Amino acid sequence: MAKLTAASLMLLALLAAAAVSTASATGTTIPGLKARRSRFLLANSAVYNTPWPSYTCSKKTAAVCLAPGSPGPACCDGQCVDTAASADHCGGCNKVCKHGRVCCGGRCVDLLSDRDNCGKCFNQCNSKCSYGFCNYAQ
């Protein structure tokens, strides 16, 4: 039998790898090779295989947004959303908060300087809000 060179061994290994990946992609098995599955995906299969609940809505079916477990009571662009907290639908459908602002109670606010929402939503300061802290000494 002739000697195998490093290049022919590499080519043989590439062909074997391609055959295994093609077989696993098409769902067929190669005799003698055992199917392998990821332990991570098997352990978390309940998390990754459960479908997300469908909360799609329209003008005719907006009542689905009022169901328990729905992300919010308003129907915007076919999805149920919470217009009091969503930065993409703050206070109403498609009212996007500008960069650096957060939706608090349906208003886009700057948490670094807003007296009524200092550092987090609904955290009121007595006098001044600076850098997200009430009465911050400068």
Concatenate the DSSP letters of all residues of 85-133 into one string. T-SSSSSSTT-PPPTT-EEETTEEE-TTT-TTSSSSTT---SS-EETTE
Q: Which residue has the higher pLDDT, 55 or 63?
A: 63
pLDDT mean across residues, the chain: 75
Cβ–Cβ < 8 Å for 62, 73: no
The DSSP H or E segment spanning 14 is helix 6-26
* pLDDT in the model for residue 68: 86
Beta bridge partners, 104, equal 107
Residue 61 pLDDT level (bands cut at 50, 70, 90) = confident
| Other beta carbons less than 10 A from residue 90's beta carbon | 25
What is the pTM (predicted TM-score) of this model?
Answer: 0.53
Residue position matching structure tokens 């490093």: 6
Instruction: Give the closest residue to 103 by CA, choosing from 131, 81, 83.
Output: 83
